[in-house]
Chain A
Amino acid sequence: MFLLLFRKSTDPRDQPSPADMQAGYMQWKAWMEKHAKEILEQPPPRSGAKPGGASAVCRAGAVTDGPYAEGKEVVGGWSFVEVESFAHAVEIAKEVPMFPSVEILEITTF
């Protein structure tokens, strides 16, 4: 299982306008529908970082192993995805709309 952490900029100049948000809402809808099978509707009751698990950050289509957050970024949301491979989680993360950066973290439930 993977946690996707969405980060956004706090710079007032980077904020989406309501018209952008309307477009963003449609993109979210499309993203959720496309990955409905993998995205969990409810967060798992107990979870933690998987020791030695995989992690990466996806920013503007590029996947790197850090830095995870840039100066003016804050966490704006998250999703849990249940997929069999890290590569699949990265593919889903790449398609997250509206957020400039998505951190992918392998987790374990207990």
Chain B
Amino acid sequence: MTAPDLPEHWFRRELGRLVSILSRRFGVHRIELCEDAAQTALLQATQSWSSKLPDNPGAWLYRVAHNYVLDELRREKRDERYLAEVPVEYAQQEVHDDVLRLLFVCADPAIPPESQLVLALKTLCGFSTEEIALRLFQSEDAIHKRLQRARTRLREHAEVQSIDPERVESVLHMLYLLFNEGYSSAQPDRVIRRELCDEAFRLAVMLKEDPAGALPETDALVALMCFQAARFDARVDGMGGLLLLEEQDRSLWDRELIERGVVHLTRSARGATLSRYHAEAGLAAEHCLAPSYAETNWEEIARLYEVLERIAPSPLNVLNRAIALAEWKGPDAGLAAIEAIDAPSWLLGYYLWDATLGELHRRRGDRDRALAHTQRALAAAPTNAEKALLERRLKKISK
């Protein structure tokens, strides 16, 4: 009487599926009740299944959760429609559509993007408030408040809760944020960060496969995720320290993911729209496909940062372009590009600003300026990993 092991993250994924089907059936305005029902059914499963798995686990869970919602509604005597016998059907194909629909619901433009993320992590990815707080570096209380406000919005606007093609852009942006949250987060635990990237990737692939989401931009975003994820583990050394692009062992990059990225990037080159995802995927592709740091096509990278700057203006793009220019034409060209930036005060206080200036001055042989900037960068560096990296650089300058 022993049940089989379940795949990794099975309970989390199943929660997302359950909340999706239940909220289609009973309405997104009852999402909290649907979450409770899914939670209850899963908890029941942990015990009931440990001796024997049911023939159709998905249908079993759905039946238990569905009955929970009915019981609650009967208890509240709120909705007479559901007091009548409601058939419990469970169609595997519909589940996919329901999950996608809930993804669109979460990307409600009336909900702030940070809260959209929280809502998706809770309802679609099956993370608890505590787990979300840990992953997004916010207090549990803040996460709770975001969830409450988002649910209030859903409760009060039941009319906009279907797959709205106009929302695709908002969905893409949410998945982009979710991926970056995992990819660039200061969270020291790599497994935890990787999880966020995997969730964003999973949902983006799902979006791409549906007619409602199959836009060139979606392919570009999936390509970007492939190229970034391919290098995820190569960015750190054996001790968990950050490695610069030029120090990374390129043989550790995941070739299969890079090839997948190329396929999606090629597919994304259709239609008239050039999104930020196109530009960023193009940049990541240049790095992934370069045989070595020295052989990188810096001219193309500088050009793509210019394209990105036009689509999504940010002084960081100019800073990155300056780095590419320095590789292509030498440190003076890079410094000239940086001097041309009308830098806002946040950028002047940002550690990468000083880190870049320090490195370019080092290459010019200006040791004093190199030291001064790198020390300022060190003082402003947000995490220990980045501090360690800058300390290594300081040693290099002092030599």
Q: Which residues of A contact B (CB under 8 A)?
A: 6, 15-22, 24-26, 28-29, 31-33, 36, 41, 76-77, 98
Assess A29 versus B131: contact at CB under 8 Å? Given A15-B39, A18-B126, A41-B51: no
- Closest Cβ–Cβ distance, residue A34 to chain B (whole Å): 11
Q: Please tell me if the beta carbons of B9 and A22 are within 8 angstroms of each other in the complex.
A: yes
Assess A25 versus B128: contact at CB under 8 Å? Given A15-B39, A32-B51, A41-B51: no
| A28 nearest CB neighbor, chain B only | B50
Q: Please tell me if the beta carbons of A17 and B130 are within 8 angstroms of each other in the complex.
A: yes
Mark out the residues of chain B between 116 and 147 whose CB falls within 8 Å of any chain A CB in the assembled complex: 126-128, 130-131
Q: Please tell me if the beta carbons of B127 and A25 are within 8 angstroms of each other in the complex.
A: no
Query: How far is A15 from B45 in the complex, measured between Cα atoms in Å?
Result: 15
Q: Which residues of B contact A (CB under 8 A)?
A: 1-3, 5-6, 8-12, 14-15, 39, 42-47, 49-51, 126-128, 130-131
Q: Please tell me if the beta carbons of B46 and A98 are within 8 angstroms of each other in the complex.
A: yes
- Closest Cβ–Cβ distance, residue B123 to chain A (whole Å): 12
Cβ contact of A29, chosen from B2, B10, B43, cutoff 8 A: B2
Q: Please tell me if the beta carbons of B5 and A26 are within 8 angstroms of each other in the complex.
A: yes
Assess A76 versus B51: contact at CB under 8 Å? Given A22-B11, A22-B12, A26-B5: no
- Closest Cβ–Cβ distance, residue B22 to chain A (whole Å): 15
Contacts of B44 in A (CB 8 A): 77
- Closest Cβ–Cβ distance, residue B390 to chain A (whole Å): 35
Apart from A19-B126, A25-B46, A25-B49, what 12 extra A-B contacts exist at CB < 8 Å? A15-B128, A18-B14, A18-B128, A19-B11, A21-B42, A21-B43, A25-B11, A28-B50, A29-B2, A31-B50, A36-B1, A36-B2
Which of B11, B126, B128: most chain A Cβ within 10 A? B11
| A29 nearest CB neighbor, chain B only | B50
Q: Please tell me if the beta carbons of A18 and B12 are within 8 angstroms of each other in the complex.
A: yes
Contacts of B10 in A (CB 8 A): 22
Q: Please tell me if the beta carbons of B42 and A29 are within 8 angstroms of each other in the complex.
A: no
Contacts of A6 in B (CB 8 A): 47
- Closest Cβ–Cβ distance, residue A56 to chain B (whole Å): 21
Contacts of A21 in B (CB 8 A): 11, 42-43, 45-46
Q: Please tell me if the beta carbons of A24 and B126 are within 8 angstroms of each other in the complex.
A: no
Query: How far is A34 from B234 in the complex, measured between Cα atoms in Å?
Result: 42
Assess A25 versus B6: contact at CB under 8 Å? Given A18-B14, A77-B47: yes
- Closest Cβ–Cβ distance, residue B139 to chain A (whole Å): 14
Contacts of A28 in B (CB 8 A): 46-47, 50
